[in-house]
Amino acid sequence: MVGTGYVGLVSGACLAEMGNDVLCLDLDPNKIRILKEGGIPIHEPGLDKVVERNVAAGRLHFTTDVEEAVRFGTIQFIAVGTPPDEDGSADLKYVLAAARNIGRLMTDYKVIIDKSTVPVGTADKVRAAVADELAKRGLDLEYSVVSNPEFLKEGAAVDDFMKPDRIVIGAEDERAIYLMRALYAPFQRNHDKLVVMDVRSAELTKYAANAMLATRISFMNELALLAEKLGADIELVRQGIGSDPRIGYHFLYAGCGYGGSCFPKDVKALIKSGADAGQDLKVLNAVEAANDAQKMVLVDKVVKQFGADLSGKHFALWGLAFKPNTDDMREATSRVVIEELFKRGATVSAYDPVAMHEAKRIFGDEPRLAYAKNPMDALEGADALVIVTEWKEFRSPDFERIKAVLRSPVVFDGRNLYDPAMPRAAGLTYQPIGRA
Ligand SMILES: NC(=O)c1ccc[n+]([C@@H]2O[C@H](COP(=O)([O-])OP(=O)(O)OC[C@H]3O[C@@H](n4cnc5c(N)ncnc54)[C@H](O)[C@@H]3O)[C@@H](O)[C@H]2O)c1
């Protein structure tokens, strides 16, 4: 497993759980040190137990040694990051470096699997990179390149990997398809979940999935803004349309914008792929613009309440992670909210059950940002409360206490956690999203 991040570590551990021998490679010595010492470098529910069990069973190993990793397995997964480049396209430097390492060191047949989210055409680039390295060595070894995009969700990643809805395999040669079937057989004993297709379609499938989910969110966020203007309640609208089986309830929650390591970058990358191919993706351009605007919605509400100059004001912020059950803060709305509050002269006390160490890494010794021990502690001395992440522990707070502690009793709820009647009954000025 090349790359031991959210995807690589979960995939590696779950493959080991099914009895495979797995070696996880990462170039970050710190990550590998933590894993070798029995720790887990990320927060992912249930992952610690799977890792612990499989390390103890001698099936799961970690290394920073590229040569050892290439020698180790016939099946070489590439699960490295594909961050956005300056022009929005997926930066393939890590993927292609991993592919070159395999070509530079392989001595027998390999099936090289792109598990990272990569644009259409990447498998061709991986194939060419390996061929180039083999040519430099004067070798003509056989290898296959497969696209196997990953659909796991951070926060439920172990379950998603162990019980996938579908396993998409983009491959064009029988040997590779046979190996993929064998590898994934234990994950689909109940019924066949393998969707085998050509490589380009598999690459596009991953972007299509994330783009569709991001579209649903942006659609609801825009309707929420309209609902506020028209005096309607987006939560009731959500229930009204979600009950239609053609629509369904998932991914219809209005809020303060989507973040994370996937949706923002994948929407951007697909737009760029479209532009490069001469296809303007009008819907996705709007999805992205709507989301950028939505990340400002909480700040707009704060400014409307307290004015544009927030000097001397102090805000409690609940939730730093881009969603619950993860410590991932990549593209998190909290980052935009915090920066925008700073810009207007305010200070912030933040609380998050697991992401505060990540916030400290991102914001460093920022004097305007304090960290609270618990949600109520964050409210001390604060003018108002801003809720950014829908952690379970925020769902039933003591509204009377919140009212008593806040200087001006306003709650800006970016995730529509409460029945508006409840905070209002406690005397709070409650400002959710899209609920007039
Ligand atoms: N995080 C998710 O929920 C998720 C879900 C589905 C797909 N994906 C995709 O999977 C890919 C990985 O995402 P992630 O969140 O796991 O990223 P991550 O940043 O958590 O992990 C990537 C790891 O790869 C390592 N790395 C980089 N180059 C390397 C090399 N040449 N050899 C060995 N290790 C190397 C990095 O040090 C890092 O630890 C991305 O393309 C992402 O879009 C992510």
Residue 348's pLDDT is: 98
- Dig out the tokens for 202 from the structure: 């598999």
- Counting ligand 1 atoms within 8 A of each CB, the residue from 26, 95, 96 with the most, and so the one to mutate, is 26
- Model confidence pLDDT, tens digit, residues 27-50: 999 999 999 999 999 999 999 999
Average pLDDT score, the chain: 97
Which atom number of ligand 1 is nearest to the Cα of residue 2?
33
Residue 350's pLDDT is: 98
Residue 317's pLDDT is: 98
Over residues 320-327, the mean pLDDT reads 96
Which atom number of ligand 1 is nearest to the Cα of residue 118?
41
Binding site membership: which residues? Answer: 26, 31, 82, 117, 151-154, 206, 251-255, 259, 265, 323, 330
Residues sharing a CB contact under 8 Å with residue 390, sequence separation 6 or more, in sequence order? 255, 319, 323, 324, 415, 417
Over residues 71-88, the mean pLDDT reads 96
Atom 31 (ligand 1) nearest CA:
98
Domains of the chain listed by start with CATH number: 6-197 (3.40.50.720), 243-431 (3.40.50.720)
- Model confidence pLDDT, tens digit, residues 135-185: 999 999 999 999 999 999 999 999 999 999 999 999 999 999 999 999 999
Binding site membership for NAD(+): which residues? Answer: 26, 31, 82, 117, 154, 265, 330
Which atom number of ligand 1 is nearest to the Cα of residue 262?
43
pTM: 0.95
**CB of 94 within 8 A of CB of 81?**
yes
Residue 277's pLDDT is: 97
- Counting ligand 1 atoms within 8 A of each CB, the residue from 1, 2, 4, 6 with the most, and so the one to mutate, is 6
**pLDDT tops 90 at residue 96:** yes
Q: Catalytic residues, which ones?
A: 262
**pLDDT tops 90 at residue 189:** no
d(CA 402, CA 384): 9
> How far, in Å, is the centroid of ligand 1 from the Cα of 307?
41
Q: How confident is the model at residue 79 (pLDDT cuts 50, 70, 90)?
A: very high
Closest CA to 124 of 99, 97, 90: 99
Residue 281's pLDDT is: 98
Instruction: Provide the Cα torsion 242, 244, 245, 250; round to 10°.
Output: -10
> How far, in Å, is the centroid of ligand 1 from the Cα of 293?
28
Q: How many CB atoms lie within 10 A of CB 140?
A: 8
Q: How confident is the model at residue 356 (pLDDT cuts 50, 70, 90)?
A: very high
- Counting ligand 1 atoms within 8 A of each CB, the residue from 34, 43, 80 with the most, and so the one to mutate, is 80
Binding site membership for substrate: which residues? Answer: 151-154, 206, 251-255, 259, 323
Residues with CB under 6 A from ligand 1: 2-8, 25-28, 31, 79-82, 94, 97-98, 116-117, 150, 152, 154, 261-262
**pLDDT tops 90 at residue 230:** yes
Instruction: Provide the Cα torsion 121, 123, 126, 131; round to 10°.
Output: -100
Over residues 101-128, the mean pLDDT reads 98
Per-residue b/e over 41-74, b at no fewer than 16 CB within 10 Å?
bbbbeebeebbeebbeeebbbbbbebeebbebee
**CB of 64 within 8 A of CB of 29?**
yes
**CB of 154 within 8 A of CB of 161?**
no
Atom 11 (ligand 1) nearest CA:
116
Please report, rounded to a whole number, the percentage of residues in the chain having pLDDT higher than 70: 100
Half-sphere exposure of 100 (CA within 13 A, CB side): 8
Residue 436's pLDDT is: 79
Please report, rounded to a whole number, the percentage of residues in the chain having pLDDT higher than 90: 99
**pLDDT tops 90 at residue 224:** yes
Q: What angle do CA 323, 95, 336 make, to 5 degrees?
A: 30
Q: How far is CA 47 from the centre of its chain?
A: 16
Atom 27 (ligand 1) nearest CA:
80
